[in-house]
């Protein structure tokens, strides 16, 4: 069976060059960067090189602005809580977009329990932050604005330059989560005037176990993991040297191959969406059309009248790895809050499937996915009472309304006794 990995947003394989670079740091150069002898000093050098590679990827001025954490989540936590605690005297208010990653959203919820307040700025149906609302949300007590570069679920590219200008005018530091864009879109921290930027190499063919936080010299943060004085006192704990070394090499390669990678995936993204649109009735793309407003790797789809997990499992049984933001695949039984924030009808949120492309995908892969996915959708619709009820005019389609029948959500609420969430 053909194997097609279409979940590059979840993780990517480590490149052979990256693995080769990491390799000696497990067995031979195994020192701790805090040690003052050969073994420590050698890995310090390696750390510095990796910082330079990370700095180069995002246009940072100096490698001293790069801090290593364990992953993207920890970087978000450090950016949000680190800035909140460091600037408590100025105020206890933060502003974020409503479609930030849970690592940002939940860091904020934690702070809210400790007395901070937070404004969540709404987005358009395409997932674009509402700039006027952002501007209005910033108060003299605001110590941080957090707006991600690209949304992890729906691939929307945010207008970072405009966001940066608003923050600069209001003189509030800006944190940009670049986990879903680094390695796939050019990033220039200076152009945005970003105080902090985070990303994680395992999204661009680097290893897991390392996250990056860029912090502009002027931005004040305190650490959130306390202990020794590693990472300039901003992140305690023994550095994960092999992963950092590998991440640095992955960043260097990502910078070199960025346009080549995009040139490869962008046509596949279009081919996949065109193919699905043509072969699967009642399917919708969430977020912007492929083009300048959407990262070239991501398609976020809603297949109407069927649920996401079933689609995902049948894809998997056919060798196709995909993700879903439907409530059935989440451990909390809630749909992705991003789908809620763009105002997606619950029926469509339930049928959500996320496909994310990478450099190993081919046109033949795409054609196989289109063909297979059409079969899967029709198999699941054959089992779905909703498809039946749509065909009998009991409920109507959200994607292509016929004017007959009630809405899916109304029907679902009637049979379950409560509106779904």
Ligand X SMILES: Cc1ncc(COP(=O)(O)O)c(C=O)c1O
Interactions with a second copy, residue window 278-337 (CB under 8 A): 309, 312-313, 315-316, 320-324, 329-332
Catalytic residue (one of 167, 178, 315, 328): 328
User: Counting contacts by CB under 8 A, is residue 101 touching a second copy?
Assistant: yes
Decide if 328 is catalytic.
Answer: yes
Between 177 and 396, whose beta carbon lies closer to a second copy? Answer: 177
User: Counting contacts by CB under 8 A, is residue 1 touching a second copy?
Assistant: no
Per-residue H/E/C for the chain = CCCEECECCCCCCCCHHHHHHHCHHHHCCCCCCCCCCHHHHHHHHHHHHHHHHHHHHCCCCCHHHEEEECCHHHHHHHHHHHHHHHCCCCCCEEEEECCCCHHHHHHHHHHHHCCCEEEEECECCCCCECHHHHHHHCCCCEEEEECCCECCCCCEECCHHHHHHHHHHHCCCEEEECCCCECCECCCHHHHCCCEEEECHHHCCCCCCCEEEEECCCCCCCCCCCCCCCHHHCCCCCCCHHHHHHHHHHHHHHHHHHHHHHHHHHHHHHHHHHHHHHHCCCEEEECCCCCCCECCCEEEEEECCCCHHHHHHHHHHCCEECECCCHHHCCCCCCCHHHHHCCCCHHHHHCEEEEECCCCCCHHHHHHHHHHHHHHHHHHHHHCHHHHHHHCCCECCCCCCCCCCECHHHHHHHHHCCCCC
**Of ligand X, another protein, a second copy, none, which one does residue 305 interact with (CB within 5 to 8 Å by kind)?**
another protein
User: Counting contacts by CB under 6 A, is residue 177 touching ligand X?
Assistant: yes
Binding residue for ligand X (CB under 6 A) from 97, 158, 200, 356?
200
Interactions with another protein, residue window 7-36 (CB under 8 A): 36
User: Counting contacts by CB under 6 A, is residue 234 touching ligand X?
Assistant: no
Site string for another protein, 317-356 (x = CB under 8 A): x---------xxx-x-x-x----------x---x------
Between 242 and 290, whose beta carbon lies closer to a second copy? Answer: 242
CB 113 → a second copy: shortest distance, Å? Answer: 9
Binding residue for a second copy (CB under 8 A) from 65, 153, 231, 239?
239
**Of another protein, ligand X, a second copy, none, which one does residue 177 interact with (CB within 5 to 8 Å by kind)?**
ligand X
Number of residues in contact with ligand X under rule CB under 6 A = 15
Residues found near another protein in the complex (CB under 8 A): 3, 36, 38, 41-42, 44-45, 305-310, 313, 317, 327-329, 331, 333, 335, 346, 350, 382-386, 388, 411-421
Residues found near ligand X in the complex (CB under 6 A): 71-73, 76, 101, 103, 148, 152, 177, 179-180, 200, 211, 237-238
């Amino acid at each position: 069976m053909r194997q097609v990995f279409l979940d590059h947003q979840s993780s990517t394989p480590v490149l052979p060059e990256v693995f080769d670079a990491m390799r000696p740091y497990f067995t031979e150069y195994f020192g701790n960067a805090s040690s003052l002898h050969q073994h420590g000093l050698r890995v310090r050098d390696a750390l510095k090189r990796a910082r330079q590679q990370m700095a180069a990827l995002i246009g940072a001025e100096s490698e001293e602005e790069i801090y290593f954490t364990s992953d993207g989540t920890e970087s978000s936590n450090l950016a949000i809580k680190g800035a909140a605690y460091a600037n408590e005297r100025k105020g206890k208010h933060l502003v974020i977009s409503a479609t930030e990653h849970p690592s940002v959203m939940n860091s904020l919820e934690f702070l809210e329990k400790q007395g901070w307040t937070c404004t969540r700025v709404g987005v358009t149906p395409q997932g674009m932050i509402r700039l006027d609302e952002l501007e209005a949300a910033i108060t003299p007590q605001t110590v941080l604005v957090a707006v991600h570069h690209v949304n992890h679920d729906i691939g929307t590219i945010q207008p970072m330059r405009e966001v940066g200008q608003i923050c600069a005018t209001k003189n509030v530091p800006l944190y940009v989560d670049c986990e879903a864009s680094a390695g796939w879109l050019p990033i220039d921290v200076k152009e945005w005037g970003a105080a902090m930027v985070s990303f994680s190499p395992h999204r661009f063919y680097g290893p897991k176990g390392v996250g990056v936080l860029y912090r502009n010299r002027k931005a004040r943060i305190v650490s959130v993991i306390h202990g020794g004085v590693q990472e300039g006192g901003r992140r305690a704990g023994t550095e994960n040297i092999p992963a950092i070394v590998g991440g640095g090499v992955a960043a260097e390669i990502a910078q070199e191959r960025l346009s080549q990678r995009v040139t490869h995936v962008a046509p596949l993204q279009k081919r996949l969406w065109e193919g699905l649109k043509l072969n699967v009735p009642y399917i919708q793309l969430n977020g912007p059309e492929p083009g300048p407003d959407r990262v070239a790797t991501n398609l976020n789809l809603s297949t109407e009248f069927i649920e996401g997990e079933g689609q995902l499992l049948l894809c998997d049984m056919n060798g196709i790895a995909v993700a879903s933001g439907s409530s059935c695949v989440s451990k909390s039984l809630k749909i992705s809050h991003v789908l809620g924030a763009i105002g997606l009808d619950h029926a469509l949120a339930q049928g959500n499937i996320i496909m994310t492309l990478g450099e190993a995908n081919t046109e033949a892969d795409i054609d196989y996915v289109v063909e297979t996915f059409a079969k899967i959708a029709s198999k699941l619709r054959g089992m779905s009472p909703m498809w039946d009820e749509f065909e009998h005019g009991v409920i109507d389609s959200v994607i292509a309304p016929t004017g007959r029948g009630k809405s899916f959500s109304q029907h679902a609420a009637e049979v379950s006794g409560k509106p779904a969430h």
